[in-house]
Amino acid sequence: MPNLTNPELAFVLARLLLGVNFLMHCLVRLPKLAGFRAGLVKQFAATPLPAPLVDVFAAVLPFVEGGIGLLLLLGLFTRPALVAAMLVMTSLVLGSSLLEEWATVGSQMVYGLFIFALILYCQHNRLCLDRRLSRPEAV
């Protein structure tokens, strides 16, 4: 294992932590995807969001989360994956706000701060495929 500075080690471990989190959101939802979709449609029935839009979002969300998680675990397209993670969190904050689930919004804001920190310190990304493939624009 290469000798990592403390900021490099902290970034890699935080990237892996977020990657596992996003990937697990996907893996636990896939076996029960139909129920997850139906539950979200029911939950958002009283909001201004159209049911077909909520259904499509619920169908796609686990795969987006899984893709982001896998990219973060591999350290591939790290910066774009973090941007995608922040956009996912933004959409979740919007939905939770429409439901007035403020405790959930608070939790999602913590995710946002975590992702913000990773984007801010992306230059410390090591032990990643981005560096192996000489993709400095992705780091």
The pLDDT mean for the chain works out to: 95
Whether the Cβ atoms of residue 70 and residue 27 lie closer than 8 Å to each other:
no
Lowest mean pLDDT among 21-30, 46-55, 65-74, 127-136: 127-136
What is the average per-residue pLDDT within 78-87? 98
Give per-residue pLDDT as tens, 104-123: 999 999 999 999 999 999 99
Q: Is the pLDDT of residue 97 over 60?
A: yes
What is the average per-residue pLDDT within 49-63? 98
Give per-residue pLDDT as tens, 62-71: 999 999 999 9
Whether the Cβ atoms of residue 96 and residue 43 lie closer than 8 Å to each other:
no
Distance CA 94, CA 56 (A): 16
What is the average per-residue pLDDT within 36-46? 98
Q: Is the pLDDT of residue 136 over 70?
A: no
**In the chain, where does DSSP find H-type helix?**
6-29, 33-43, 51-74, 78-98, 102-120, 129-132
Output the pTM of the full model.
Answer: 0.94
pLDDT of residue 137: 56
